[in-house]
Amino acid sequence: MITTLKGKKAIVTGGGRGLGKAVALYLAREGVHVGITGRNEENLKVTLAELHDIGVNAAYAVFDVTEEAAVQQGVKRLVEKLGSVDILINNAGVGDFGKIADMSSKQWEDVIRVNLFGVYYVAKAVYPFLKDKGEGDIVNVASTAGLKGGGNMSAYAASKAAVVSLSQSMMAEWRKENIRVITLTPSTIASDMSIQGGLTDGNPESVLQPEDFAQWVCDMLKMNRRALVASASLFSTNP
């Protein structure tokens, strides 16, 4: 049986643009009340207006996912504004690409901090609310790069491989409390990051689009709660 998402409350990190924005809007069209996070307040305000136009309750919080105290405070504010939380879409991330010998240590560490520690801090902040509710969903967004590294992407691939492993540990611990932890490893999607990084031309006729990713996420969340998609990948058919 497919379950409805209507009336649920979700937090989407990196929800001001790209994949996060696409997921936030798709959830809203399903009747989900949405809290979005990010570092760019103007982007968040634009997305917030679009969410309100759909007719759901929505809120935003500005914080950097690499700062644990700010994450804790921001998540708490969003839960207060939404009334509760049922779903976390752990989407915020960066892509900084380059050869190992050419990237500075700081660049490399910054990618790890955002993509790995960000997922850890936000999930840890949301977990107590899901535990108290007795159920919930956490969707951690990794990448196929985390399954197999490649040239010019060492920091990104390493960060996403770590997210895969962290997410598997979360699933092993938290499924016992009826919290589903889903690890997603999409291939290249026509997001701002991928296009600006030269990974794809974003051709909508052949390349995965943000709305494809958003539909994928929502379809898995709709599954009967006895079912858990532990991990899944998504590819363009013929890019």
- Active-site amino acid positions: 156
Distance CA 163, CA 120 (A): 8
Q: Rg for the chain (alpha carbons), in Å?
A: 17
CB-based contacts of 186: which residues, under 8 Å, 6+ apart? 141, 143, 144, 208, 213, 216, 233, 234, 235
Give the angle subtended at the CA of 138 by the CAs of 239 and 5, to the nearest 5°. Answer: 85
Distance CA 185, CA 156 (A): 13
Q: What separation in angstroms does the CA of 143 have from each of 53, 68, 72, 86?
A: 31, 23, 25, 24
Give the angle subtended at the CA of 93 by the CAs of 90 and 96, to the nearest 5°. Answer: 165
Phi, psi of 201 (to 5 degrees): -90, -5
Phi, psi of 133 (to 5 degrees): -75, -25
If one counts every other C-beta atom within 10 angstroms of the C-beta of residue 3, the result is 12
Identify each DSSP E strand in 153-193 by its residue range: 179-186
